[in-house]
Amino acid sequence: MSSFKSTELLKSKVSKQKWVESILLVTTFALFIPVAAIFLILLIKGYPAINLNFIFAGPSNGMTEGGIFPAIVGTFWLIFLSLFFTCPLGILAALYLNEYARDNTFTRIINLAIINLAGVPSIVYSLFGLGAFVLFLKMGTSILSASLTLSVMNLPVIITSTRESLLAVPKSFREACWNVGASKWQTLWYVVLPNSLPGILTGVIFSVSRAAGETAAILFTGVAFYLPFLPESIFDQCMALSMHLYTISTQVVGVPESYTFGTALVLIGLVLIVNTLSIVVRSYYRSHRKW
Amino acid sequence: MMGKVIEEEKRQLSDYIKHYRPKQILRDRIMESIIFLGGLSAVIFTIGIFLFVIKEAWPFLSSRFSLMEFLTNIEWYPVSNVSVRYGAKALFVGTAAVTIGSMVLAIPVGIGTAIFISEFCGPKFKEVAKILIELLASIPSVVWGFIAVMVMNPFIINVLHEPVGLNVFNASIILALMSIPMIVSIGEDALRSVPDTYREAAESLGATRLEVVIRVIIPAAKNGLIAAILLGVGRAVGETMAVLMATGHSVAIPDSIFSPVRTLTATVAAEMGEAPKGSEHYQTLFTIGLSLLLITFSINFISDILLRKSWKRK
């Protein structure tokens, strides 16, 4: 009798579990809907606008016609210049934390600083960039100031991803290298860094997509609403795709829908290509690693 | 013959000790100090951010700023000709409104998804779901704002028959979708860090998977899950472009979820362009930036403590 009762109980427990499991399945799947919807809408409404002229011409007639070439060029300037600053610094910081730092208060402070940097709102980065680079260091509103602001913003991303890939290199690799008489730096340079390069690359590519999409951080530091010419040096201002999308969808009246959706499509396409690249590099790296 | 070889080896060894080894050590020292400076950079920038934001806000903070007015007055008239007032209450309430609104959606979905990915689904689905979450996280905030203006706005007006499409509701949905990836990934880490022995022990006592999750896994991962939610809140508070575009620019206390509001971040983004450098208005905007910085710093600090606690057990 008692065993019969317990099966009833078990049955109700199992059916309850099935219910919860299917609810969770539905919520997880529900996330597919907005992602798919966003990409579909952008593709359907933006695709008709995309042609060579749209990509390679400047905006004309009060930004209601023409193309987005200066914005694309500006975005690339910002991406590459910010990578130039943030990569070496981020990799050095990660090397310090993973290879040199001891478990003490100082290291805790560095970790807290990294976590804090990762959580600072992008508009506050913009204020910092304005105060520090534009005004204090007198760089003016320029590609340089904007890139420096972006690179500070991306620093925690690079540090975290580099650290993870350094951590993945087995200790035995280092020990083997020390045993043949290599110094600590030689071990890092000839063994640890080459083996963690794909992981570092993944983080770098991911930070490219963040830089490409960022708007608030470059708002007061170097990006212009509209420029009739292309930037010639890092001390010029530039346009950016993200900023251009903001401008034409909220600040300018009478922009045709296809033009704004086209711009959004180019931006999300760029971000998506870069992200896919990072996922591909990562999965290739995982399946080909030597240990 | 033998002697010659030994002589040669001795020569090489002394050569190594005399010439190569010192170079090796010197290079190591130099690189170590460069790497140390790199390690310091995050601290320098964190201090720098506080320093420069405070520096620009200081003339206002040290003269006419009153915390009472700033926090309790709803009158935000930074450029009024008659009497300038800097009451940021409505902005704080606006930020709170969209944050709470987004969390109502993001916490159950985010934590639910984290639990499903970590405890219920198979490895293949897990891989797919993680890529999906990454995709969701990669959409730039200005594109979210664009969706809010171009898709959600007409939807709310035409389908829900509300007069204004850019409001708390719109921003909350957008912000929820933006913070879900963070809640899922940190929440999943927290759940995964619960040792398998806990699961095995509970299952051997006859608990079903659901009971294991509710009675064992969630209590064990509690700190990490709270940290995940807090970081989601931080994300929502600090988000700028999407909120700037979705909330509808109305400095007022919202009376329903379909009222337009203005958040702290949106105010800085919208008004900084017009505020002359060094003016009182400009300094107030830096003061708002400082309050944002303090809010996010405390959130990060608390969640760091919680995450550290949850790792210690592991």
Asked if A182 and A270 count as a contact pair (C-beta separation under 8 A), the reply is: no
Give residue A287's identity as a one-letter amino acid code: S
Quick one: pLDDT at residue B312? 65
Q: Which two tokens stand for residue B55?
A: 């520096």
Can you tell me the distance from the alpha carbon of B51 to that of B47, in angstroms, rounded to the nearest whole number?
A: 6
State whether A216 and B151 contact (CB < 8 Å): no
State whether B132 and A35 contact (CB < 8 Å): yes
Extents of the domains making up chain A: 10-46, 50-288
Asked if B311 and B283 count as a contact pair (C-beta separation under 8 A), the reply is: no
Quick one: pLDDT at residue A50? 85
Specify whether domain A50-288 bears CATH 1.10.287.540. Answer: no
- Residue in B238, B229, B297 with CA at minimum distance from that of residue B98: B238
Quick one: pLDDT at residue B200? 92
Can you tell me the distance from the alpha carbon of B38 to that of A182, in angstroms, rounded to the nearest whole number?
A: 23
Can you tell me the distance from the alpha carbon of B145 to that of B175, in angstroms, rounded to the nearest whole number?
A: 10
Residue window 168-197, chain B: list those with CB within 8 Å of chain A: 177, 180
Half-sphere CA count of B182, side-chain side, radius 13 A: 22
Distances (CA, A) of A158 to A168, B137, B199: 15, 17, 35
Considering the four listed CATH numbers 3.30.930.10, 3.30.365.10, 1.10.3720.10, 3.40.50.720, the one that applies to the domain covering B71-313 is: 1.10.3720.10
Asked if B184 and B113 count as a contact pair (C-beta separation under 8 A), the reply is: yes
Backbone angle region of B248, left / alpha / beta, with phi > 0 → left and psi within -120 to 50 → alpha:
left
Higher pLDDT, B308 or A262: A262
Extents of the domains making up chain B: 2-63, 71-313
- Determine phi and psi for A206, rounding to 5 degrees: -60, -40
Quick one: pLDDT at residue A75? 93
Q: Is the pLDDT confidence value at A1 over 50? A: no
Count of CB atoms within 10 A of residue A153's CB?
A: 28
**Interface test mutation site (partner B, options A116, A186, A245, A255, max chain B beta carbons within 10 A):** A116
All residues of chain B having their beta carbon less than 8 Å from the beta carbon of residue A41 are 147, 151
Dmax over CA atoms of chain A, in Å, equals 88
Coarse DSSP helix, strand, coil percentages of chain A, rounded to the nearest 5 percent: 75, 0, 20
Quick one: pLDDT at residue A113? 93
Whether A46 has its CB under 8 Å from any CB of chain B: the answer is: no
Quick one: pLDDT at residue B313? 58
Can you tell me the distance from the alpha carbon of A244 to that of A14, in angstroms, rounded to the nearest whole number?
A: 54
State whether B116 and A34 contact (CB < 8 Å): no
Q: Which two tokens stand for residue B292?
A: 């944002």
Dmax over CA atoms of chain B, in Å, equals 104
Whether B112 has its CB under 8 Å from any CB of chain A: the answer is: yes
Distances (CA, A) of A3 to A6, A8, A15: 5, 9, 18
Higher pLDDT, B3 or A270: A270
Which 3 state secondary structure label does DSSP give A65?
A: strand
Whether A89 has its CB under 8 Å from any CB of chain B: the answer is: yes
Non-local CB neighbours of B243 within 8 Å, separated by 6+ positions? B98, B145, B171, B174, B175, B263, B265, B266
State whether A184 and B32 contact (CB < 8 Å): yes
Non-local CB neighbours of A143 within 8 Å, separated by 6+ positions? A74, A77, A78, A81, A222, A231, A233, A234, A235, A236, A237, A238
Q: Is the pLDDT confidence value at A143 over 80? A: yes
pLDDT in tens, A157-211: 999 999 989 998 999 999 999 888 888 899 999 999 998 988 898 889 888 988 9
Give residue B19's identity as a one-letter amino acid code: H
What is the number of residues in chain B?
314
Asked if B35 and A159 count as a contact pair (C-beta separation under 8 A), the reply is: no
Helical packing angle, A32-46 and A257-288, nearest 10°: 130
Across residues A239-261, what is the average pLDDT? 88
Chain B nearest C-alpha distance from A220 (Å): 7
Can you tell me the distance from the alpha carbon of A70 to that of A67, in angstroms, rounded to the nearest whole number?
A: 8
Which 3 state secondary structure label does DSSP give A120?
A: coil
Chain B nearest C-alpha distance from A86 (Å): 11
Across residues A71-99, what is the average pLDDT? 93
Across residues A82-102, what is the average pLDDT? 93
Count of CB atoms within 10 A of residue A61's CB?
A: 8
Asked if B52 and A131 count as a contact pair (C-beta separation under 8 A), the reply is: yes
Nearest by CB to A124, from B53, B146, B304: name it: B53
Quick one: pLDDT at residue B19? 82
Transcribe B258-287 into DSSP letters: TS----HHHHHHHHTTTSPTTSHHHHHHHH
Whether B232 has its CB under 8 Å from any CB of chain A: the answer is: no
State whether B38 and A92 contact (CB < 8 Å): yes
Give residue B208's identity as a one-letter amino acid code: T
State whether A215 and B140 contact (CB < 8 Å): yes
Distances (CA, A) of B273 to A111, A226, B85, B148, B253: 34, 14, 19, 23, 25
Quick one: pLDDT at residue A4? 52
Residue window 43-62, chain B: list those with CB within 8 Å of chain A: 43, 45-46, 48-49, 52-53, 55-56
Mean pLDDT of chain A: 88
Can you tell me the distance from the alpha carbon of B216 to that of B195, in angstroms, rounded to the nearest whole number?
A: 11
**Interface test mutation site (partner B, options A92, A124, A133, max chain B beta carbons within 10 A):** A124
Can you tell me the distance from the alpha carbon of A105 to that of B67, in angstroms, rounded to the nearest whole number?
A: 34
Q: Which two tokens stand for residue A190?
A: 């000839």
Can you tell me the distance from the alpha carbon of B258 to that of B253, in angstroms, rounded to the nearest whole number?
A: 12
Q: Which two tokens stand for residue B192?
A: 């995964």
Transcribe A123-153 into DSSP letters: HHHHHHHIIIIIIIS---SSHHHHHHHHHHH
Count of CB atoms within 10 A of residue A66's CB?
A: 15
- Residue in A281, A155, A139, A269 with CA at minimum distance from that of residue A213: A269
What is the number of residues in chain A?
291
Q: What residues in chain B have per-residue pLDDT under 70?
A: 1, 311-314
Give the helix/strand (H/E) hosting B89. Answer: helix B89-115
Q: Which two tokens stand for residue A262?
A: 């086209």
Non-local CB neighbours of A112 within 8 Å, separated by 6+ positions? B300, B301, B304
Give the helix/strand (H/E) hosting B86. Answer: strand B85-86
Residue A107's Cα: distance from chain center in Å? 25
Which 3 state secondary structure label does DSSP give A66?
A: strand
Reported as a pLDDT band with limits 50, 70 and 90, residue A290 is low
